[in-house]
Amino acid sequence: MAGGWEAPIALTTMEVLLLLGGNLGDPASALGEAERWIAERVGTVLSRSRDHWTAPWGFTDERLFLNRAVILRTALEPQELMAELLRIENELGRTRDEAKRYAARTIDIDILLIGDSVVDIPSLQVPHPRLHERAFALAPAADIAPDWRHPVKHRTVLQLLNDLRQPAV
């Protein structure tokens, strides 16, 4: 509109539940730096869990993992969000060995949930496909989002965590 005023386009935002973790170097510093960069480049951090120290999952290592859940509000589309989180991981020294799926790392940033959305594309699956199997992810998530409902399992984060703690029948 030449010479006139145009209303700004409203950006759609979504709330996202992330898990930050690491066990190499100084995990507390790496998680803190990752959280700062997420706030600067990805969206507004709304909440963060307390820190949880846990044993490695899927492999053996003498170093514990530090895990922290974060809720953020972002206007980025899921693929853009994943790309930016991968850039942050790389800038914080994350290296990937494609031969080893699970290994020690300086930083790992996983998208656990995006609102009540389901994303299933080759480069991204949300909800995280193994969230319901991982107490190390569910416990920090339950600190800040116990009632967030998994859109496929139709259970809350807290229910999924409690399910893992129940003896198998």
Q: What pLDDT is attached to residue 116?
A: 94
* CATH number where 32 lies: 3.30.70.560
pLDDT tens readout for residues 120-135: 988 889 999 999 999 9
Inside any domain, residue 82: yes
pLDDT tens readout for residues 62-91: 789 999 999 999 999 999 999 999 999 888
**Residue 3 CB contacts under 8 Å (≥ 6 apart), including other chains:** none
Inside any domain, residue 78: yes
Angle, CA of 166, 167 and 169, to the nearest 5°: 115
Inside any domain, residue 169: no
Inside any domain, residue 144: no
pLDDT tens readout for residues 139-169: 999 999 999 999 999 999 999 999 998 766 5
- Kindly report the pTM of this predicted structure: 0.87
Inside any domain, residue 93: yes
Inside any domain, residue 156: no
Domain interval for residue 112: 14-128
CB 43 within 8 A of CB 73: yes
- Active-site residue list: 94, 105, 108, 110
Task: Count structural domains, the chain.
Answer: 1
pLDDT greater than 70 at residue 96? no
User: Residue 127, preceding bond cis, omega within 30 degrees?
Assistant: yes
